[in-house]
Homo-oligomer: A and B are copies of this chain.
Amino acid sequence: MNRVLVTGASGFLGRHVLPRLQSLGFEVHAVAYRNGVDLPGVCWHRRDLLEESAARDIISQVRPTHLLHLAWCADPANFWQTADNLRWLDATTRLFAAFAECGGQRVVGLGSCAEYEWGSEVHCHESTTPTHPFSLYGKAKLTAGHWLDAQATAGQFSAAWARLFFVYGPWGHRSRLPGVVIDPLVEGRPARCSSGIQRRDYLFVEDAAAAIVAILDSSVEGAVNVASGEPVPIIDLLKGVAHILNSEHLLQVGAIPDTETNNPRSISADVTRLRDEVGFTRSVSLDEGLRRTADWWRQTRYSQAS
């Protein structure tokens, strides 16, 4: 039986990944820094992967055949430039090394569209778009992906690097889009936002989780963009949720000035590899995804983890 170890398993993406892995027949082991998520059949391991011996301990205990590494520093307030990115890079290579030592077969690590060079507009292709990240986060992710690729080239295991674009949905952070707007709107307060003219590739979190699990379950090697392939103006996203919440009058478009730097007019993804080699296409439309996101927000209000 295939046994998968999932890091960052209690996070935004991780909690959506677990049931999909179970449905594919994996024995699921999940690592979390704090508490796990109540899900029957998942074996939780509470560990801090930044501790030097943690990776080796957990890997030698679980002896997974598959590794899905989602954990990384993700505080919206500082993840772009915090030196914690280097600590996570270090922890990540320790994890990959321990997995190789234990005879693990297949790894998928979580990369980012921030690994690409962002000009004024960028359409990201895995092998032809230059990778010159503006942020320490992007640089550390890029380095981790290259490290994994080198290990795979050396025959240590099979590996892919899932470069995630923009994700939204239940359990999204309230300081990120579209949460930053939904949060006040569900309370009937005005929601200030920028012009929203920038185009971004948004994927519903359950689709993102399904794509990443499909990559793990495939034999595709190297970098794979995880996105919808259909960028939309951010304002469409915001107006969409405002419409669903019957509160378009509370949306204050342009109340916040647009960020000048590292804010391309468009960030889109070439999803040819994901579609043709992994065989994945999204199943939740933007409208449907926004409706489900808004529903979840209304139901949970302030009960979600902040």
Q: Which residues of A contact B (CB under 8 A)?
A: 81, 83, 85-86, 89-90, 93, 97, 127-128, 130-132, 136, 139-140, 142-143, 146-147, 149-151, 153-156
Contact = CB atoms under 8 A, between A and B. Distances in A.
A112 to B, nearest CB: 14
When all copies of this chain in the complex are counted, the total is 2
Contacts of A97: 90
Contacts of A150: 85-86, 89, 136, 139-140, 143
Given A83-B156, A86-B154, 12 more contacts: A81-B153, A85-B154, A89-B147, A90-B93, A90-B97, A127-B130, A128-B130, A130-B130, A136-B153, A139-B150, A143-B146, A146-B146
Nearest to A131: B131
A267 B242 CA distance: 56
A150 B89 CA distance: 10
Nearest to A132: B127
Contacts of A140: 150
26 contacts: A81-B153, A81-B154, A83-B154, A83-B155, A83-B156, A85-B150, A85-B154, A86-B150, A86-B154, A86-B156, A89-B147, A90-B93, A127-B130, A127-B132, A131-B131, A136-B150, A136-B154, A139-B146, A139-B149, A139-B150, A139-B153, A142-B146, A143-B143, A143-B146, A143-B150, A146-B146
A156 B86 CA distance: 11
Contacts of A155: 83
Nearest to A83: B154
B154 A147 contact: no
A139 B147 CA distance: 8
A155 B81 CA distance: 10
A222 to B, nearest CB: 9
A56 to B, nearest CB: 13
A96 to B, nearest CB: 10
